[in-house]
Amino acid sequence: MKAVRLIALSLVLALMIFPLLWMFRVSLMPPGAGLSLEELISPALSLLPYQDILTSGKMALFFFNSLLVGVVVTVANILFCFLSGYAFARHPFPGRRFWFYSVLFVLMIPSHIVIVPLYIMLHKLGMYDTYWALILPFAVNPIGIFLVRQYLETLPTSMEEAARIDGASELQIIFKVVMPLCKPALAVLAIQVFLTNWNSFLFPLIFTSSESVRTLPVALALYQGHQAIDWSHLMAGSSLAVIPVLAVFLVFQRQIVSGITAGAVRQ
Amino acid sequence: MKSISISFAILALLLLLQCGGGKTDGVVIEWWQFWTDPAIKPTIEKMIADYEAANPGVKINITDLTWANGHEKIVIAFSSGTAPDIVELGSDWIWEFASTGQIAPITDEVVKDTSLFHGWTPATLDSQIYAFPWILGTRVLFVNNALSTRAGLKDKYVPANWEQMKLLCYKIDSLGEDIYGFGANAAEKHTLYKKFLPFYWSTGGRIISEDGKYAVISSDRCYQALKFYKELSDSCGMIDTQRRLEDAFLAGKVGVIISGDWLLKRIKRGNINIDFVTSLIPGPEYPGKSFVGGEYLAVSSKSPHQREAIRFIKYLTSKENQILFCKTNYSANPSHKEAALDPFFKDDPNLMTFVSQLRLSEFPPPDPQWVYIEDIIETMLEEILFKNAPMVETLYEARNKIQKLIDSK
Amino acid sequence: MKRQILAGNFLASPWIVTFLAFWLFPLFYSFFLGFTDFRLMRPDYNWVGWENYINLFRDKAFIEALINTFIFVIGTIPFTTVIALILALLVEKKIPGQALFRSGYFVPSITSMVVIALVFTNLYSRDGYLFLLAKMLGMHPPENGFLLSSKTALLSIMAMDIWMSVGYYMLIFLAGLKAIPEELYEAASVAGASGRQKFLHITLPLLNPVTVFVIVINSIKSFQVFTEIYVMTKGKYGTSSAVYFIYESGLNRFEFGYASAAAYLLFVIIAIFSILQLGLMQRKHY
């Protein structure tokens, strides 16, 4: 039985990573080579695409920008989405329904429509072409709030009540009791937010123009020319871009499975 | 909590650094452009540096645009009143920007240059000039010489008219199961119509009558061109997207395709081993016509430095700089007529094909409604080529739709 | 009680502030524009009332895009949800190579959609691996590749989308599974419940809020499918989606008023869909 499961899992695994192996293979093609079957299974290998990217100097800056924005936005989201999500799940404050709907509202409007007025606003606020334009509007992600709220609904309230009876302050309850219980959800949130930001293209493209604040996806888009795609460089850059997200995933996925589980809750 | 405060401290520091640039005295000209390829960008940067050195007090601030969504960035900036001083526009975008008053008419400043340059058609609206032609690009016929000789044709054979082209494609197509005669475009936005219109134009046909009052696409000429194109596409065409057709051509799987100078550049840069010849696009009789588009430079109507901007544009488009640009980028169609006389072009038969084709090529009709007309033509082509819709009826339908657009003005 | 109210407002303030500062104006502004004939780059516009909305219902291209969007949503969400849940259940148990499987399944979600879409454009083409694989398996793929045929283009994009998103939703299910108290399973085992009974009576009901999240978020995202289509087919071969239509008319043809109306129409559809899902599924739990 166990063997069957392992084989099934491995087959699915092969299916899942195959297109990424293709991407990696292309990233090792000599620049200018074609993508036909014959060429891809040929032993031609070239590290030139990687070398070009790693030595082009500015890539380090774009990488740093992406990392900076990603880390700040992720940290902000973990804190803010947790607090807001907690309020929506546990505090019956007036207007709760309204504000919760506002979360969904923002999610449901296509970004191509709001991007124009948002651009005008950021310009008026003097944030255009600064890190702020990439951070502030995204510091509280509606999906994150929704996730935390839904997650808290699966958790029993018994521990919070017990702490309240023991005379713990609201802050203590939030950070010492609820937050640790939410660890798996916050880990998912961290991965999701970092990932979305790391790959975000349209907003950074429209909201910035200088190289000093350019992010990686915008820089990589430059390899997609008007008439031809520079496949090997684009795929090499994309393969490199996977690494930080993978690192974030590996760090946080442990939190998802090894965090204090609700099983520890004394009923 | 600690990590949060640290990140914010770093951020604050960076923001301070960013603002610390300080203001320079004199004129700063913002320029948005698309040439970001590492092979050409340094040349552009050098041109700027030379210009700044020769013109103290003027600074050129360059911003890279990406082909993916770069258009949107321009549109959003212009409609929000935050446009750069100079913007690079594709030829088919100029009308929309001109008719909405977003870019400044520069007629008086450039009227003396008009005879020196190609490509004023798309830059002109209601007899005012709104943009300066920079690097143009036409399409020519590429023939895989190895395949055509294998098919029994003499070395370096190129077809002169439709009959010969058909024969050539058929012969190559019969070479093998996985070898196709003609690279026929699939339904691909902004691409398919550019491949068909040359054949229509070659018959002397027009889309809109000369006085701009009537749609005339349902003519017999268009029918003939469509019939010819559909026959090629159906009987010996590999139907795929332009990029993939070019891949297939380079891999020796397609005998004849229509493409631009970017393909020459790709062959050259990638050291691709392929035996090919280029030629003018054939018409029913020799010679035919091709499609041309290009990159233009325009000045925002809100720019406070219009004079300085035009001066810089003239510098960029000067004969010397265009030659330099074409040499570095392997571009074939400088807008400056004298630039095209440089030995760089003369010594290369393939580049010369482009230079000659440019004189035999057309821009889409200058019409602010072109985006809609383009859409109608593409839909018509898709219906006829891929859904086998009846040709005459579909042509009439398209004509009526275009006529309706003209009448609604 | 008063303290609670204050605390609630205070805790929710990050969102309230962000919403008021960055989203309220864009939302209202575009809602307003939906009732005008505003075109990008033209400063003057007129109030046209419901005309845009009426025209949308007459616009064949929009209706087609809307139908495609529905096909996309209905055709992907059940698969994504079920596969993600199965994967989560499989990798939750202790097995050799657990971390490897988990990361492997998640990796497709990591790469940017643009890059993935470019990769699949190749895999689906006439000499791509997926095309050749289909041929080897005796299927008859359309001769010009999967993306250049109205029969298969949308389905191919949907398949890619499922491939790409199951890992992400698996992760959310994994987090949700962790919140279910272990004692419940132990008690059920003592009472002699079978694995199937435990799944139906403990796992599914307790996982419900997370399942609701997965389905609602996935619906919202799928209703807004855009990037794949923009990169792979530009809306040709019967793949135009609602947001692709909005993009085309708003940012390419500059009919921003019209596009805004389309966006709000889509919003209403998504909202009804989500409220139905929230209402139907939440109730079961309480």
Sketch out chain B's domains with CATH numbers.
Answer: 26-138+293-362 (3.40.190.10), 140-280+369-407 (3.40.190.10)
Q: Which domain holds residue A31?
A: 1-46
Structural domain total, chain A: 2
CB contact under 8 A, B189 and C251: no
**Which residue did the predictor score with more confidence, C272 or B19?**
C272
Confidence category of residue A40, pLDDT binned at 50, 70, 90? confident
Instruction: Dig out the tokens for B340 from the structure.
Output: 């095209």
Q: Last residue of a domain, which of A11, A30, A46?
A: A46
Query: Are C56 and C4 found together in one domain?
Result: no
Query: Are C18 and C39 found together in one domain?
Result: no
Q: How many CB pairs under 8 A join A and C?
A: 279
Query: Are A13 and A84 found together in one domain?
Result: no
CATH code for the domain in which residue A61 is found:
1.10.3720.10
The closest of A72, A95, A71, A91 to A83, measured between CA atoms, is A91
Determine the distance in angstroms separating the CA of B315 from the nearest CA of chain C, rounded to an integer. 29
Indicate the residue type of B233: S
Least confident of B140-144, B244-248, B365-369, C79-83: B365-369
Summarize pLDDT for B219-270 with one digit per residue, the tens: 899 999 999 999 999 999 999 999 999 999 999 999 999 999 999 998 998 8
Instruction: Dig out the tokens for B36 from the structure.
Output: 């970001």
Contacts of B75 in chain C (CB under 8 A): 40-41, 251, 254
Instruction: Tell me the ipTM for this assembly.
Output: 0.89
Query: Are C70 and C163 found together in one domain?
Result: yes
Confidence category of residue A264, pLDDT binned at 50, 70, 90? very low
Share of chain A above pLDDT 70, in %: 96
Alpha carbon distance B198, B221 (integer Å): 12
pLDDT of residue B5 exceeding 60: no
Alpha carbon distance B292, A27 (integer Å): 34
Query: Are A201 and A253 found together in one domain?
Result: yes
Query: Are A182 and A202 found together in one domain?
Result: yes
CB contact under 8 A, B240 and C148: yes
CB contact under 8 A, C103 and A249: yes
C122: nearest CA partner in chain B: B244
Query: Are C20 and C72 found together in one domain?
Result: no
Query: Are C102 and C18 found together in one domain?
Result: no
Structural domain total, chain C: 2
Query: Are A3 and A81 found together in one domain?
Result: no
Share of chain B above pLDDT 70, in %: 94
Half-sphere exposure at residue B202, Cβ-oriented, CA atoms within 13 angstroms: 29
The closest of B264, B344, B329, B351 to B39, measured between CA atoms, is B329
Comparing CB atoms, the residue among A86, A150, A181 nearest residue C209 is: A150
Contacts of C125 in chain B (CB under 8 A): 240, 244
- What average pLDDT does range B279-308 have in this prediction? 94
Query: Are A154 and A249 found together in one domain?
Result: yes
Query: Are A56 and A132 found together in one domain?
Result: yes
Query: Are A38 and A52 found together in one domain?
Result: no
What's the gap between Cα C274 and its chain centre?
A: 12
b/e B247-282 (16+ beta carbons within 10 angstroms → b): bbbbbbbbbbbbbbbbbbbbbeebeeeeebbbbbbb
Cα angle A111, A68, A75; round to 5:
75
Confidence category of residue B13, pLDDT binned at 50, 70, 90? low
pLDDT of residue B146 exceeding 80: yes
Determine the distance in angstroms separating the CA of A153 from the nearest CA of chain B, rounded to an integer. 26
Indicate the residue type of B323: I
Residues of chain C whose pLDDT is less than 70?
1-4, 282-286
pLDDT at B49: 96
Query: Are A219 and A123 found together in one domain?
Result: yes
Query: Are C185 and C279 found together in one domain?
Result: yes
Confidence category of residue A179, pLDDT binned at 50, 70, 90? very high
pLDDT of residue B2 exceeding 60: no
Query: Are C9 and C69 found together in one domain?
Result: no
- What average pLDDT does range B110-121 have in this prediction? 91
Query: Are A225 and A180 found together in one domain?
Result: yes
Any chains having at least 3 CB pairs less than 8 A from chain B are A, C
pLDDT of residue B10 exceeding 80: no
Query: Are A78 and A96 found together in one domain?
Result: yes
Summarize pLDDT for C5-58 with one digit per residue, the tens: 777 888 899 999 999 999 999 999 999 999 999 999 888 899 999 999 999 999
pLDDT at B24: 53
C185: nearest CA partner in chain A: A263
Query: Are C140 and C187 found together in one domain?
Result: yes
pLDDT at B294: 93
Q: What does the mean pLDDT of chain A come to? A: 87
SS (H, E, C) chain C: CHHHHHHHHHHHHHHHHHHHHHHHHHHHHHHHHCCECCCCCCCCCCECCCHHHHHHHHCHHHHHHHHHHHHHHHHHHHHHHHHHHHHHHHHHCCCCCHHHHHHHHHHHHHCCHHHHHHHHHHHCCCCCHHHHHHHHCCCCCCCCCHHHCCCCHHHHHHHHHHHHHHHHHHHHHHHHHHCCCHHHHHHHHHCCCCHHHHHHHHHHHHHHHHHHHHHHHHHHHHHCCCHHHHHHCCCCCCCCCHHHHHHHHHHHCCCHHHHHHHHHHHHHHHHHHHHHHHHHHHHHHC
A78: nearest CA partner in chain C: C14
CB contact under 8 A, C179 and A113: no
pLDDT of residue A215 exceeding 90: yes
Query: Are A23 and A60 found together in one domain?
Result: no
Query: Are C12 and C134 found together in one domain?
Result: no
Alpha carbon distance C230, A163 (integer Å): 52
Contacts of A16 in chain C (CB under 8 A): 104-105, 107-108, 163, 167
Helix (H) or strand (E) holding B363: none
Query: Are C21 and C75 found together in one domain?
Result: no
pLDDT at A265: 44
pLDDT of residue B380 exceeding 50: yes
Indicate the residue type of A226: H
Query: Are A166 and A142 found together in one domain?
Result: yes
CB contact under 8 A, B18 and A119: no
Q: Which domain holds residue C8?
A: 1-26
Residue with tokens 């004298």: B338
Query: Are C109 and C131 found together in one domain?
Result: yes
pLDDT of residue B21 exceeding 60: no
pLDDT at C217: 93
CB contact under 8 A, C181 and A262: yes
Summarize pLDDT for A53-103 with one digit per residue, the tens: 888 778 889 999 999 999 999 999 999 999 999 999 988 888 888 999 999
Query: Are C198 and C256 found together in one domain?
Result: yes
Determine the distance in angstroms separating the CA of C159 from the nearest CA of chain A, rounded to an integer. 12
Cβ atoms of B244 and A226 closer than 8 Å: no
Instruction: Dig out the tokens for B217 from the structure.
Output: 């696409």
**Which residue did the predictor score with more confidence, A252 or A1?**
A252
